[in-house]
Amino acid sequence: MSMKSATLVVLAGLCLVAAARADGIEAKYAKACATCHGSGVLNAPRTGDKAAWAPRLQQGLPVLLSHVKGGFKNMPAKGLCNDCSDADYEALIKFMSQ
């Protein structure tokens, strides 16, 4: 195998990994968080609504994580995602707040 094709194989592999990770988060978002954060039902900050997310993000990630995991006002504990890790929640919060 030439140097050039080896590089291409590595690059293609990296792209697949990146795509799989993005898919995982979007699937979790669609299955759980989107139920409320997609429409803004129950006063949930809507996905992509930066103004709504700004004051919440100011609390810092550790506070946001504890609110999702333990439940917060109208949001049920874990945000309906039973197989989400802390890293998943972090990615979901970033995904929704941008």
Residues that bind ligand HEC (CB under 6 A): 32-33, 35-37, 42-45, 56, 59, 64, 67-68, 72-76, 79-81, 84, 89, 92-93
With respect to ligand HEC, which residue has the nearer C-beta, 12 or 83?
A: 83
For ligand HEC, give the closer residue by CB, 6 or 61. 61
Cβ 45 to ligand HEC, closest distance in Å?
A: 6
DSSP secondary structure, 31-92, as one string: IIIHHHHTTTGGGPPPTT-HHHHHHHHTT-HHHHHHHHHH-BTTBPGGGG-TT--HHHHHHH
Tokens 């409320």 locate to 36
